[in-house]
Amino acid sequence: MTTAAAASAGALAARLAAIVGDAHVVVDEAELSTYECDGLTGYRVRPALVVLPASTAEVSGVLREAHAAGVPVVARGAGTGLSGGALPVAGGLVVALSRMKRILEVDYDNGFLRVEPGVINLDVSKAIGARGYYYAPDPSSQSICTIGGNVAENSGGAHCLKYGFTVNHVRGARVVLADGTVVDLGGPVLDAPGYDLLGVVVGSEGLLGVVTEVVLRILRKPQATRTFFATFPSTDEAGAAVSAIIASGIVPAAIEMMDRLAIVAAKAATGLDWPDVGAALLMDADGPAAEVEHTSENAIELARRAGAIEVRRPRDEAERALMWKGRKSAFAAVGRISPNYFVQDGVIPRSEIARVLREIDDLAAAAGLRVANVFHAGDGNLHPLVLYDESLPGQEEAAEELGGAILKLCVRYGGSITGEHGVGHDKAAYMPVMFAAEDLDTMGLVRCAFDPDGRLNPGKVFPTPRLCGDRPGPHRPHPEEASGKIWRE
């Protein structure tokens, strides 16, 4: 940091401390370094300051100061994101919401609760579990990730196939805009008049505002859940089984696929006695008991007809939990079969699973790398794990290239570059693969309405930020554009 920059950071730190208290402004270099990345640890940037507000009023005050100082702001939950969405900006401010972790209100009769953004996802379900209720979105990181981060990323999880994503479970939010203005969007009552700005804020990856309160929809636990684990000679048969199950009119709560490498890894990590097979499915059906009995039996029959080698049903809840533990540990377990790996996140139409997996195999073979697949098969959300060894020259670069090629493959099949991890810093460059300039421009216009200076989470999602101009009007060149200081592609 230059002397001048350090001085202005120091002045801002003092003003922020007046709002949140000295103890909640981080200026120490060593402490700052703990905020320099999120779950995607390959990208690291040390922020100038980290501030930890405790209320909407404090967040508003902090953003007002940052706005006045012209400092970029990155909001941060638990930092478990996998797309670099919470990557700080050099010289910028990180607003960490970890102190705002109260559950403010629970209303069982009307099916909602109100929380602060720092509440951990799983703690929501824990708080209402005794009454037989739960919060449906269940990202794999749910024991550590926070609701605020879930809202920013529109997080999914294995069970969103039936229950939908975060956006389908958020009814309202209190949002602090870039200039410190506080707005309430939606609320416990459905269909508040006006534009569905709440639907736009959810999944906007911290570019539109900082969420300081969230109204979440809560659900009664289903009467029954039936789980089965089925093995197949290859992903071809497993993919066919998924298609047959969905085509039969069954809506599974979750249906997950693992390929040979992923099964090997999960076994190594958990000691599960899964066989060595080409592919496996893990399916949950839930709902009213009679319906679930029926759908579960039918799905098993369809899996057998599609070529299942073996179908296992857990004897009790403990065994069911173990099966899911195997699935959920598969990511980390890959570390046991490869020195390095990274997780890709892309979506394809589920009917194309078998074909796309073969193409991924071909791409991997051509790159001289291995790819393990463990993913949400029901909605075609692939999570290819690209395995590599950074000690071998060129392998890391080859792995990155392969990851990019997989994303392009997803788009070619009519899918998406991200199903749940977000675009963040990591995939901003791939947005033009999926969207035309006009599409990105329209999203940019929405951003201009919320944050005309582009101070919230700059550098994320959009490869080339739209310039907003001073005020709305027909397009005219930005003053600095006209002078040639900046330009757009």
Of the pair 161, 387, the CB lying nearest other proteins is at 161
* Secondary structure of residue 96 in the 3-state scheme: strand
Q: Which region, judged by CB under 8 A, interacts with other proteins, from 2-10, 98-106, 385-393, 419-427?
A: 419-427
Phi then psi for 391, rounded to 5 degrees? -75, -15
Angstrom distance (rounded) from CA 220 to CA 268: 36
CB of 432 vs other proteins, minimal distance in Å: 11
Of the pair 185, 330, the CB lying nearest other proteins is at 185
Q: Which region, judged by CB under 8 A, interacts with other proteins, from 70-78, 361-369, 435-443, 479-487?
A: 435-443
List the one residue from 16, 75, 399, 440 that touches other proteins (CB under 8 A): 440
Q: Which region, judged by CB under 8 A, interacts with other proteins, from 53-61, 92-100, 266-274, 416-424?
A: 416-424
- Kindly state whether residue 287 participates in binding other proteins, applying the rule CB under 8 A: yes
- Residue 193: its H or E element: none
317-328 and 260-270 helices, crossing angle to 10°: 120
- Kindly state whether residue 447 participates in binding other proteins, applying the rule CB under 8 A: yes
In the structure encoding, which two tokens stand for residue 178, read together? 């870039």
Of the pair 243, 395, the CB lying nearest other proteins is at 243
- Considering only residues 336-375, where is the footprint of other proteins by CB under 8 A? 347-351
In the structure encoding, which two tokens stand for residue 481, read together? 């554009």
CB of 441 vs other proteins, minimal distance in Å: 7
CB of 356 vs other proteins, minimal distance in Å: 12
Phi then psi for 209, rounded to 5 degrees? 175, 175
Size of the site for other proteins (CB under 8 A): 96
Q: Residue 382's beta-bridge partner residues?
A: 346
- Kindly state whether residue 383 participates in binding other proteins, applying the rule CB under 8 A: no
Which alpha helices (DSSP H) does 330-465 contain, by range? Answer: 330-333, 353-367, 395-412, 431-434, 437-450
- Kindly state whether residue 450 participates in binding other proteins, applying the rule CB under 8 A: yes
CB 280 within 8 A of CB 272: no
- Kindly state whether residue 431 participates in binding other proteins, applying the rule CB under 8 A: yes
- Kindly state whether residue 154 participates in binding other proteins, applying the rule CB under 8 A: yes
Closest by alpha carbon to 339, among 289, 399, 422, 297? Answer: 399
- Kindly state whether residue 184 participates in binding other proteins, applying the rule CB under 8 A: yes
Q: What is the DSSP letter of 233?
A: S
Q: Which region, judged by CB under 8 A, interacts with other proteins, from 137-145, 242-250, 258-266, 302-310?
A: 242-250
- Considering only residues 306-325, where is the footprint of other proteins by CB under 8 A? none
List the one residue from 5, 11, 183, 365 that touches other proteins (CB under 8 A): 183
In the structure encoding, which two tokens stand for residue 52, read together? 């930890």
Angstrom distance (rounded) from CA 84 to CA 461: 10
List the one residue from 381, 409, 425, 454 that touches other proteins (CB under 8 A): 381
- Considering only residues 186-205, where is the footprint of other proteins by CB under 8 A? 187-197, 199-200, 202-204
Q: Which region, judged by CB under 8 A, interacts with other proteins, from 148-156, 271-279, 317-325, 479-487?
A: 148-156
Angstrom distance (rounded) from CA 52 to CA 99: 7
CB of 315 vs other proteins, minimal distance in Å: 23
Position of tokens 């969905």?
246
- Kindly state whether residue 436 participates in binding other proteins, applying the rule CB under 8 A: yes
What is the per-residue DSSP string for 243-296?
Answer: HHHHHTT---SEEEEEEHHHHHHHHHHH-------SEEEEEEEEESHHHHHHHH
Its sign, for the CA torsion 113, 118, 124, 127, is: negative
List the one residue from 448, 455, 465, 467 that touches other proteins (CB under 8 A): 448
* β 133-134/182-186 pair status: unpaired
- Kindly state whether residue 415 participates in binding other proteins, applying the rule CB under 8 A: yes
In the structure encoding, which two tokens stand for residue 136, read together? 């449906």
Of the pair 47, 422, the CB lying nearest other proteins is at 422
In the structure encoding, which two tokens stand for residue 27, read together? 């200026």
Binding-residue pattern over the window 98 to 137 for other proteins, x denoting contact by CB under 8 A:
---------x-xxx--------------------x-----
List the one residue from 49, 379, 402, 409 that touches other proteins (CB under 8 A): 379
Of the pair 322, 443, the CB lying nearest other proteins is at 443
Angstrom distance (rounded) from CA 307 to CA 300: 11
Closest by alpha carbon to 385, among 366, 368, 360, 350? Answer: 360
